[in-house]
Structure formats: C-alpha cells, structure tokens
C-alpha cells in the first residue's frame, strides 16, 4: 500500500478535525436544545402548577361559602330551599359537572338538577368514593378524588369533597362536586399548554388525575387504578439516579426536578416534575425526545452540509496542489536527471535506467565521446559560445545515433549506448558521426568545425557492468586522441596501459619522499670546437617495484596529477645544487673559471603557477651567476593557448637572467610570426629530425630552415640526439651552433659528469 503524501496526510487531518468540530457543534446544539426545552418545560410546569393551585383554591373557597349558606339554610332538613342555590351554583360555574350534599353516613340528601339521585348509591358504599369521603370527614380542606367516568353524568370528572361543620365544630354534611376534565377553561386543557408540551397531573397516591397524552376518553384504563407500583419504583430509582432526590425531597421542598424517563406511550421523554403540597399532586410537564431530535435535524443537516462542502472544496484545492506538487516533482526529477544545457539525460538518469535497459539487450556498445580542443574555443570565445557549440553537438549526436541512449557526462564529454552493434557497425556509425560533426557550426560571426575522439567498449566481451564499461570506454577515448581516425576500440593492451598508468600514479606520489628521484646530466657542446658549454639536466626515477621508469612515461602523469609542481621543484633544487658543487670542484685549483650552462626542462603547468616564480627567484638570488647560467627548456604548448600570457611569462624570466630554449622545435605548429614576438635565446631541433637527416631530404631541409630562421632572428640553434659523425658533418654544413647527443656523451650522474668535465678541461 502506498502511504499518502504529506499533503494528503494534512488533508485527512483537516477532515478529521472538521468532523470533530461538526460533532462538537452537534453536541453543543443538542445541549442548547435540551436547555431551551427544559426552560420551556419549567415555564409550563410553573404555569400549570400555579393555575392548578388557583383553580383548587378557588373551588375550596367556593365550596366553603356554599357550605356556610347550606348550613344557614339547614339544607339537610329543608332540601328544597337549598336546591335553588345548588342549581345557581352549577349554572354560574360551568366547569363543575354536578353537586351533591351527603349526610355524614354518606347518603346523598341533595343533588343538582342534572343528577338523578335515586340512581346514586351511598358514597361510603362505593369503593371509588369511600376513601375520599372518609378523608373529607376528617379535614377542613378540600379533598380531591381521583378521575373517573361518572356514568350518571356521562362525563370524566374529578370529584371534590369538603365537609360542612356547625358552629360547634361538628360535621354537618359533606359537599361533593365534580370538575369536568374536558372543560375548555381548565388550566390543563391542551389548548392552554404551550405547543407540544405534554402534561401529567398525578395524585400523591399515584392516581392519575389527568394526562394530556393519555386523555381519559382514549386511555380510560390509565385512570382506573393507581400507576403500577413497579413503574413508580423504577421512576423513583431514576429520579434518585438523575437528580439525587427522592419523592419525599420533592414533597418537602419547593423544588422541581429535571428528568429523563419513559412515558405511558413508551416514548423517551424529558420532563420537569414538581409537587403541590396543598392539594398533594405532582405536576409533570414533558416532551418526547423524538420532538427534540426533530428539532435537531435541520441544524445537523446544515452543519454536515457545511462541513461536507468545506471538505469537498478543500479536497479540490488539495488535489490541485498535489497536481502542482507532482508537476514540480516531475520537473525537479527531470532537472536532476537531465543536463540543463543540452536537455540530454545525465549520469543519474543512466544509473536509474540502465538496469532495465540492459536487461533487454543481448549485446551493445558504449561510446565515450570527448570533443577536441573544446576548452580552447570555450576559453577564447567565452562560455556562451561554448554552450551553443555543446547544444549543436548534442543535436548532432541525437541525429547520428537514433534509437540509442545519449548521456552528457559533463563538460565536453558524452556517452552513447548503442544497441545490437557489431564492432564494425559501431565504428562506421562513429565515422559518420565525426564526419557530420565536422560540418561548420555558425555562432554569430564565428564558424567552428568540431572534432571529437571516441572510445568504444562493448558488452559483453569488454565488460559486464556499466562502471567497468564506462571506465574502459573512457581510457579507450584517450587512445583515440592519438589515432588519426579519432576512433578507438577497447583492447586488452589499452587496459594494461591504463592499469600501469594508475600504478605509476600511485607510486609517483611517494617518489620524492622515498628518495627514488635523481638527476643525470647530458653535456652540450659548441659546434665550432666541440667544447662543452653546459649540460641538460634530465630526471630519473628508480622505483622499488617498477624499476627504472622513463621520464617520457611518468612526466605526463606528473603533469595531469599536479605532482609536477613538487617534482619540478626537486629538479631545479637538485640540478642547481649539484652543478654548483661540480663547478666548485672543477675550478677549485684555477683562477680562470668558465661559466657552465644548466638547461632545465620546465613543464607548461609549472610556468603557469605563480608560486613557481617566488621559489625560482629566491633560488637564483642565492647562487653566483658567474658559475651557472640557467636556461629553461620549454615547449610550444606554452603559447598555443595565449601568446600574450606566454610573452609576459618569458620576459619575466629573462629579466632574471634566465635563458629560454624552445624544446622539441619543429614538432609543433609555431609560426615565424609567433617566434618573433617572444624573447627566445635558443631553438632546440628535436631528435626525430636529426635521426633522419641523412636519409630524409625533407628533414634536412627542415633543419636548414630552422637554422636560417635562427640566424635571421639571432637565436642560436641546438641539435639534439646527435649520434654519429655524419650527422655532425651535415649539421655543421647547415650552420648549427650547438650539439647534444650520444656521440658526445650520454646523460650521466653528477660524479660521472665531474670526472667527464675534469677530463675535458685537462685536454
Ligand atoms: P627532451 O627534453 O627532448 O630530452 C632529450 C631526451 O633525448 C632525453 O631522454 C635524452 O636522454 C635523449 N637523448 C639525448 N641524446 C640522445 C641520443 O643521441 N640518442 C638517443 N637515443 N637519445 C638521446 P630522457 O632523459 O629519457 O628524457 C625524455 C623526456 O623526458 C625529455 O625530452 C623531457 O621532455 C622529459 N624530461 C626529462 N627530464 C625532465 C625534467 O626534469 N623535467 C621535465 N619537465 N621533463 C623532463
Ligand atoms: Ca629538453
Ligand atoms: Ca626532444
């Protein structure tokens, strides 16, 4: 399962919070509805309470006045006089159903006109009336009976009884009247109750006087008996549990209590219960919870709709954001895996895609391409031009190698993964590409023709993993730089060369510290009299494991690794020190000493390094220039790049009395015009020309040319690699000034040189 992103986790969190908020809102709304309902019920309860109290006390007063009048009239004896009074009472109090006057034995003596007295039994004989009748005999207060259906009147009534006492306090008679339950003016009438509020009036002995939700007409059985004691018990338990109060507490204090309970219709309800002490009944106002819930429906719908709409909008917002985020991520991923400039994939892309890509290939070739002289163009014309060249090269790579993977390795290096290629096919494609690459690239006013070198390594024969193949294609590319075709296929030999190179690199690092380096010196002689005028110092490296390593092999490595600076320093220090000591010993016993020339090979990297000058100048200031004349042998590579810079470098050296010899002259491309601008003292004809001077006419011509150039510019010419007398003859005829070669002497260590020079002086 994919774990949702941070963004979606935030969304889910907000959703949960909003649902929780919705839940809380519903909860608070419910509390609000409940409290409003309780307030409403409370109000209704006190309303009913006080109006019932008023009603009963009014009836009590009415009956008392009535009783006094009936006593005055002696009603028991003269019922006819009283009859009018009773009938008047009834007609002026329509809420009363009838009136009766019974003697203390319960026998009805007088009844209102609407009652047939003969049909009525003795009140003490009837269970419903006996209890209250007896009660009425005992108390001055009005006694409220329990609701029943009075057949004689065909009505549901509540009987009210009150005794009449004479002036001596003896009970004279008992008045009985009935309150019409359904009377329109009754405080209990549903019409007088606030909307939806139900009402129950329950007598102290749990007889129901009236229940709005169980009206006598519809639920007569609710009035026949007291409420089931089990139910009462249960209610009492609930009362204690919910309010901590008992019925007795309720009866004693003037309090009302909130309660949740179940009504006779089995509905869960909330209610307020209070107790009327005077007339001993409970007033219960209540509302079924269903109604409260109904009240909740609209707000709940609102709340959840709002939350839903909120979450939905948020969802779209988050979705939009997540899409933006994904786009940004895709863009970042693309940027990370592609080269900004050429839009070609880079190494990271290769690393990711390679395992899958290679699975689908049986055989493939990796081409490592490096542009020739790109650095020069870049330095000369600026990076924007360089960038445009790279863009164009990338485009040409794509066209030349369709259906392949093209990677920009960095700088001017590209890698191509070619599918299903035989070596010949791969080479052909490379040739076509190099041909297409040569086609001029126009940038502003400039025109470039770009060359490149390509190294090819093949899967599976040359290697099986990408690192190995890339490394091999890379070393092969270096070989390609030396090939005329500029294309090279990986071979075991190249691998060996490269491995030896790494070994040399490793060993060379410690060469100075391990004392493995030493200097030898090869004499240079004057052409006229073959007298030694000086020496060229040459470096030797004798390594414990590798043996003697030729400088041709290790100097280029020292140059690429940067070791040339410390090695060059060693060369200068050692050569100067040793030559000074040789000079001192040579001329120890004579006063006419001759200055010896010391030619030291200096790499271009050294000349371009500022620190080199500081150390060099302090070094020369320490020795006597009458003993040693210092000469630097430099190659043309120095001014290929920047002629102005070369000029300033060489001038600086000359100002410090250091001569400049142009080494390997003739192998490079230096033109006359370039030479004339530089402060050069000597041209050194490369050994390769001297070698063939006798057999190759062109080489002879070239040497003669060099010598005449030298003459015209007043620069002396030295021929190196002179091995036999015939060569000397030829060189002498051409006007060469100095010689150096095995014919005269091989390079030798300082002791041999001393001996050699001592011999020469003595001649
Ligand atoms: P190079 O400066 O052209 O030095 C001349 C090379 O030709 C030397 O080889 C020398 O021994 C050799 N040689 C001279 N005369 C003859 C001859 O008559 N016959 C033959 N067969 N060879 C002759 P070496 O000493 O092996 O030096 C090779 C190259 O290594 C030098 O070429 C120079 O470029 C470089 N090198 C040597 N020592 C140093 C050094 O101290 N610093 C720097 N930067 N490069 C050095
Ligand atoms: Ca040299
Ligand atoms: Ca040379």
Q: Is 5 helix (H, G, I), strand (E, B) or coil?
A: coil
What pLDDT digit, counting tens, does each position of 500-538 carry? 999 999 999 999 999 999 999 999 999 999 999 999 999
Between 625 and 129, residue with greater pLDDT: 129
Least confident stretch, 299-308, 350-359, 520-529, 746-755 = 350-359
Inter-residue contact 36 to 298 (CB < 8 Å): no
Rounded CA-CA distance 563/506 in Å is 11
- Distance (Å, whole) CA 30 – CA 24: 10
Q: Is the pLDDT of residue 625 over 90?
A: no
Least confident segment among 435-444, 567-576, 638-647 = 638-647
Pocket flag, ligand 1, residue 134 (CB < 6 Å): no
Global pTM reads 0.56
User: Of 371-385, 542-556, 701-715, where does mean pLDDT reach its minimum?
Assistant: 371-385
pLDDT at 7: 83
Please give the helix or strand (H or E) that residue 728 lies within, else none: helix 725-734
**pLDDT above 70 for 671:** no
Which segments of 167-299 are extended strands (E)? 171-180, 198-203, 208-211, 256-262, 268-276, 281-288
Is it true that the peptide bond before 761 is cis, omega within 30 degrees of 0? no
pLDDT bucket at 81, cuts 50 / 70 / 90: confident
pLDDT above 90 for 117? no
**CA-to-CA distance for 294 and 303, rounded, in angstroms?**
15
Quick one: pLDDT band at residue 114, thresholds 50, 70, 90? confident
What structural domains and CATH numbers belong to the chain?
Answer: 30-54+185-291 (3.30.450.20), 58-180 (3.30.450.20), 347-494 (3.30.70.270), 521-538+593-762 (3.20.20.450)
pLDDT of residue 751: 97
* Whole-number pLDDT of residue 687: 94
CA of 635, closest atom in ligand 1:
34
Is the CB of 760 within 6 Å of ligand 1?
A: no
Long-range contacts of 59-64, Cβ-Cβ distance < 8 Å, separation of 24 or more:
59/142, 59/160, 59/177, 59/179, 60/141, 60/142, 60/162, 62/89, 62/93, 63/142, 63/160, 63/162, 63/175, 63/177, 64/162
State yes or no: pLDDT of 1 exceeds 60: no
Arithmetic mean of pLDDT, 226-230: 91
3-class DSSP state for residue 643? helix
Q: Is 115's pLDDT higher than 90? A: no
Specify the higher pLDDT residue, 366 or 190.
366
Region 181-185 average pLDDT: 79
- Ligand 1 centroid–CA 552 distance in Å is 8
601 Cβ closer than 6 Å to some ligand 1 atom: yes
For residue 548 and ligand 1, the question of a CB distance below 6 A is answered with no
Residue 182: pLDDT band (50, 70, 90) is confident
202 CB-near residues (< 8 Å, 6+ apart): 208, 209, 227, 281, 282, 284
Question: Where does the pLDDT of residue 641 fall: very low under 50, low under 70, confident under 90, or very high at 90 and above?
Answer: low
Q: Quick check: CB of 525 below 6 Å from ligand 1?
A: no
Rounded to the nearest integer, the mean pLDDT of the chain is 90
Please indicate whether residue 739, judged by its CB atom, sits closer than 6 Å to ligand 1.
Answer: no
pLDDT in tens, 390-426: 999 999 999 999 989 999 998 899 999 998 778 888 9
Centre of ligand 1 from the C-alpha of residue 720, in Å: 9
Q: State the average pLDDT over residues 98-112.
A: 90
Q: Whose CA is nearest to atom 29 of ligand 1?
A: 552
Classify the phi-psi angles of 36: left when phi > 0, otherwise alpha if psi is within -120 to 50, otherwise beta.
alpha
Closest CA to 476 of 464, 465, 462: 462
Q: Residues with beta carbon < 5 A to ion ligand 3?
A: 664, 686
Residue 720 CB–ligand 1 contact under 6 Å: yes
Whole-number pLDDT of residue 672 = 66
Identify the sign of the CA torsion 399, 405, 408, 414.
negative
| CA–centroid distance, residue 727 to ligand 3 (Å) | 16
For residue 549, the CA-to-ligand 1 centroid distance in Å is: 13
388-397, 543-552, 630-639: lowest mean pLDDT where? 630-639
Q: What mean pLDDT do residues 32-56 have?
A: 93
538 lines ligand 1 (CB under 6 A): yes
Q: How much distance in Å is there from the Cα of 526 to the middle of ligand 1? A: 19
User: How large is the average pLDDT for residues 688-703?
Assistant: 92
Q: Is the CB of 663 under 6 A from ligand 1?
A: yes
Ligand 1 pocket, mutate which of 555, 563, 576, 605 (most atoms under 8 A from CB): 555
421 lines ligand 1 (CB under 6 A): no
d(CA 634, CA 646) in angstroms, rounded, equals 11
Give the residue, by CA position, lying nearest to ligand 1 atom 17: 721
CA dist., res. 35 & res. 30, Å (int): 8
Q: 716-720 and 738-740 as β-strands: parallel, antiparallel, unpaired?
A: parallel
C-alpha closest to that of 752 among 582, 526, 597 = 582
**HEC per residue, 448-490:** ECCCEEEEEEEECCCCCCHHHHHHHHHHHHHHHHCCCCCEEEC
What sign results for the dihedral spanned by CA atoms 751, 754, 757, 762?
negative
pLDDT tens-digit readout, 591-618: 778 899 999 999 988 988 888 988 888 8
In 635-688, at which residue ranges do the beta strands (DSSP E only) sit?
A: 659-665, 682-685
């Amino acid at each position: 399962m994919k774990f949702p992103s941070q963004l979606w986790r935030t969304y889910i969190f907000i959703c949960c919070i909003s649902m929780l908020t919705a839940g809380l809102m519903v909860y608070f709304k419910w509390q609000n509805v409940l409290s409003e309902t309780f307030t409403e019920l409370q109000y209704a309860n006190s309303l009913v309470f006080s109006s019932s109290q008023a009603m009963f006390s009014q009836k009590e007063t009415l009956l008392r006045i009535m009783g006094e009048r009936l006593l005055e009239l002696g009603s028991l004896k003269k019922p006819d006089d009283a009859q009018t009074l009773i009938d008047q009472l009834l007609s002026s109090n329509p809420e009363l159903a009838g009136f009766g006057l019974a003697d203390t034995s319960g026998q009805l003596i007088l009844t209102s006109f609407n009652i047939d007295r003969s049909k009525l039994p003795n009140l003490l004989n009837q269970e419903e009336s006996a209890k209250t009748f007896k009660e009425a005999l005992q108390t001055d207060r009005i006694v409220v009976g329990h609701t029943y259906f009075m057949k004689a009147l065909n009505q549901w009534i509540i009987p009210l009884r009150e005794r009449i006492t004479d002036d001596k306090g003896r009970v004279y008679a008992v008045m009985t009247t009935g309150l019409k339950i359904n009377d329109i003016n009754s405080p209990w009438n549903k019409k007088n109750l606030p909307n939806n509020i139900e009402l129950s009036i329950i007598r102290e002995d749990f007889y129901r006087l009236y229940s709005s939700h169980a009206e006598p007409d519809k639920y007569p059985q609710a009035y026949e008996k007291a409420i089931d004691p089990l139910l009462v018990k249960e209610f009492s338990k609930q009362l204690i549990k919910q309010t901590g109060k008992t019925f007795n507490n309720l009866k004693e204090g003037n309090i009302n209590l909130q309660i949740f309970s179940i009504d006779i219709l089995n509905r869960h309800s909330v209610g307020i219960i209070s107790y009327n002490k005077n007339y001993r009944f409970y007033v219960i106002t209540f509302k079924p919870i269903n109604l409260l819930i109904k009240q909740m429906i609209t707000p709940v719908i609102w709340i959840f709709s709002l939350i839903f709409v909120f979450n939905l909008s948020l969802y779209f917002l988050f979705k939009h954001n997540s899409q933006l985020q994904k786009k940004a991520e895709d863009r970042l991923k693309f940027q990370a895996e592609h080269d900004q400039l050429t839009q070609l994939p880079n190494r990271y892309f290769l690393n990711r895609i390679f395992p899958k890509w290679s699975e689908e290939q049986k055989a493939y070739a990796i081409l490592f391409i490096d542009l020739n002289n790109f650095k020069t163009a870049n330095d000369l014309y600026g990076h924007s031009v360089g960038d445009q060249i790279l863009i164009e090269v990338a485009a040409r790579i794509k066209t030349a190698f369709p259906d392949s993977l093209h990677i920009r390795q960095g700088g001017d290096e590209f890698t191509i993964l070619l599918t299903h290629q035989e070596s010949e096919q791969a080479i052909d494609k490379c040739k076509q590409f190099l041909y297409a690459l040569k086609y001029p690239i126009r940038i502003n006013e400039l025109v470039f023709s770009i060359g490149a070198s390509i190294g090819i390594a093949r899967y599976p024969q040359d290697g099986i993993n990408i690192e190995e193949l890339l490394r091999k294609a890379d070393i092969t590319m270096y070989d390609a730089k030396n090939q005329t075709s500029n294309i090279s296929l990986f071979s075991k030999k190249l691998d060996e060369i490269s491995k030896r190179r790494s070994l040399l690199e490793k060993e060379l690092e410690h060469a100075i510290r391990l004392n493995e380096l030493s200097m030898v010196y090869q004499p240079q002689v004057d052409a006229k009299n073959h007298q030694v005028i000086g020496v060229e110092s040459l470096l030797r490296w004798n390594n414990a494991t590798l043996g003697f390593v030729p400088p041709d092999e290790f100097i280029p490595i020292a140059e690429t690794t940067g070791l040339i600076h410390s090695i060059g320093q060693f060369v200068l220090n050692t050569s100067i020190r040793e030559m000074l000591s040789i000079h001192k010993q040579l001329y120890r016993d004579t006063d006419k000493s001759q200055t010896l020339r010391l030619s030291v090979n200096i790499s271009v990297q050294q000349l371009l390094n500022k620190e080199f000058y500081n150390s060099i100048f302090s070094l020369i200031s320490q020795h006597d220039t009458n003993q040693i004349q210092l000469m630097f042998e430099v190659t043309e590579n120095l001014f290929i790049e920047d002629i102005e810079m070369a000029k300033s470098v060489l001038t600086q050296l000359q100002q410090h009395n250091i001569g400049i010899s142009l080494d390997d002259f003739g192998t490079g491309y230096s033109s006359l015009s370039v030479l004339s601008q530089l402060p050069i003292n000597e041209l050194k004809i490369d050994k390769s020309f001297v070698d063939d001077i006798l057999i190759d006419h062109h080489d002879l011509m070239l040497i003669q040319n060099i010598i005449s150039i030298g003459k015209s510019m007043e620069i002396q010419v030295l021929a190196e690699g002179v091995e036999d007398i015939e060569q000397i003859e030829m060189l002498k005829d051409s006007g060469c000034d100095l010689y150096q070669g095995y014919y005269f002497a091989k390079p030798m260590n300082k002791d041999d040189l001393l001996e050699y020079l001592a011999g020469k002086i003595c001649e």
